[in-house]
Structure formats: structure tokens, C-alpha cells
Amino acid sequence: MRTMIDYTCQHCGETYQRIKGNTPGKYCSRHCGAMANKPSQHLVIPDNQLMSARTLARRRKAAGLTKPINTNPFNEKFFDTWTDEMAWLLGLIWSDGCLYGNTIDISTKDFQLAELVLAVIDGGTYALKNNGEHIRVHFSSKHTADRLRSLGLTEHKSLTIGWPIIEAEYEGAFLRGLIDGDGSVLLRQARANQQAPDLTVQLVTASTILRDKIRDCLTRHDIAHTIQKREPQKAGWSPLYKFVVTRQDALKRLYTMLYPDEHRPCLHRKRAPYEIWMKIERPRTGRPSAAFVKSTSNKNKQAYRMIRF
């Protein structure tokens, strides 16, 4: 008959039994052994050796590590506090981002924008897709995903997304993020004998709810605009709604709203033509004087060359 000997675990202090004659252990279980020999990561992956996902999961369980592995850490509490950077990134996610599970994904063609997003959230990662034509920035966190859902972000959002629960002082930053994602800023001089280039700011959405909220926001800030509806070109597609701002007074109000100072996060290639247009001297209403035409024509042509190249 086998004789059992009592031992005391050196980690939890519980009494456990072993067969007499066997080598006594210091701990009652693998879990206690792993917890007593911190850091337990060395017990999970000794010498960084390769192993299957099943083996890794088994070793993590034995080591008492229950938190999922985040190979691309970032500031998970970034969206907890309202800031200008947070509102801007929220607008970018609303326009060019998507949510699936606990992962937030932003697709863009602009590498500068991808680097800016990673710098703002202090982490995350990116990957190339569509044969390198697009950059996919993504970061995962249950806490972050739940926070974004509480603000109004949903999966499959293109046709149903609305206006987020946002403080009024950050509406400009949020709108800047929308324009950096699904907007455009065009500076062109196409008419014959045109003295100064025209600026056009556009923003496109397929959601009727977001369309109405953007219209209300622009109206509150006294920014004149028009809305153009583009009918679907194929069966099963949805119409698109394009906001267009072209009036000089409205463009100046919009610029002040989007860019209160030069230190706000933004897509520089969309801000650059706006700043060039703001610096150009504008003629008064009516026929311009010969002196004005002579003094400003060279400056305007030089400024327009800058945006063309």
C-alpha cells in the first residue's frame, strides 16, 4: 500500500500530499510555482522559443496570466478625456475608420496621417493592404472599444452613423477629423483672367443622420453651405451627400473653427491650400482698380504655383 506524506506549499501555505519515496516539491501546483517565481513571463516563453498558440495558451494558464496578450500596446485611456486631439481622432474614425469586435481600424492613403494617428495614441501599429496602396492603422482594446460605443460608434456604420455625444467646444476638432477623412480642400484658378484662385471645401457622407447633424453644426456656426445629392450608380448602392462651402465669409469662419492655431493635429496637405488662400489679398466687391491688379497679380500667381506643385 502506498504511503502519502504531507507537505506545505511554499507559496500559498496549503497542505498537499505526495507519495512517499518521490522527490518532494516546493509547491502544490504549477500555478503556485509560476506565481512564486516571478516574472512568470520567463516560465511562459523561456528564451523566447517558438511554440504553437495552444502551447502558449496552456503555459499562460499554468502561470496564472489571464489578461490577453496585446502585442501592439497603446494609450487605452486616450478617449476617456476630451481633448482637441481626441476629438480630431474621433472625427477621423467616424469618417475613415471602422469597428469590429474590440479592434479599431483606420484606412488611409496618406503615410503622414498614419504616423500622426500612431503618435497621438502613443502606440498601435499599421500594415499595408491593396498591394501597398492603402495603409491600415489598427489598435485593439476592450476598454477603448466600449468607450467609443458609448460615444455612438457602431459596426457597419457607413449608412447609420450619427453625431457623437460631444462637447460643444470640440465640434471644430471633430469636424476637422471628418474633413481629413472624407473631405477635400481644393484651390484652383480655372476661369479666364481670374485674379485670385478659388477655394472649395467639401465633405461627403452616406449617412442621412450624420448629414442632418453636420448641417445643423454648420448652421449653428453661421457657415453658408450647399448639399449636393449624388444618386447611386448601381443597384443596391446608397446615395452620397456632399457638403460644399465656397463663400469667402463662410470659408473664413470655417477656417477659424477648424484651425484655431497652428499646433492642432491635422492632415497638412489639406490645411496647406487653406492657408495659402487665407494669405491672398482679396479684391473688393465690384470691378478692381488697376493699381490692385498690378500689385497682387504676381503674388497670387506665385501662391497658386505653390499648391500646383
| 150 and 197 belong to one structural domain | no
- Domain holding 262, by residue range, is 182-308
| 151 and 104 belong to one structural domain | yes
Of 37, 62, 87, the residue that ends a domain is 62
| 192 and 171 belong to one structural domain | no
Cα gap 266→173, rounded to integer Å = 9
| 291 and 190 belong to one structural domain | yes
Average pLDDT, the chain: 82
- 70 lies in a domain? no
CATH number at residue 154: 3.10.28.10
Per-residue pLDDT reduced to its tens digit, 157-195 = 888 899 998 888 999 999 999 999 999 999 988 887 778
Residue 224 has pLDDT above 80, yes or no: yes
pTM of the model: 0.70
**Phi, psi at 198, each rounded to 5°:** -95, 145
pLDDT attached to residue 70: 62
pLDDT attached to residue 176: 95
- 67 lies in a domain? no
Of 131, 154, 175, the residue that ends a domain is 175
| 47 and 132 belong to one structural domain | no
Cα 131 to the chain's mean position, in Å?
22
| 238 and 302 belong to one structural domain | yes
Share of the chain above pLDDT 90, in %: 40
Per-residue pLDDT reduced to its tens digit, 79-136 = 999 999 999 999 999 998 999 888 899 988 888 898 899 999 988 888 887 777 888 8
Residue 101: all three cell numbers together: 469586435
Mean pLDDT of the 33-41 span: 56
The answer for residues whose C-beta is within 8 angstroms of residue 309's C-beta and 6 or more apart is: none
Would the CA dihedral through 81, 108, 103, 236 be positive or negative? Answer: positive
More confident residue, 49 or 285: 49
- 294 lies in a domain? yes
Q: How many domains does the chain have?
A: 3
The answer for residues whose C-beta is within 8 angstroms of residue 142's C-beta and 6 or more apart is: 102
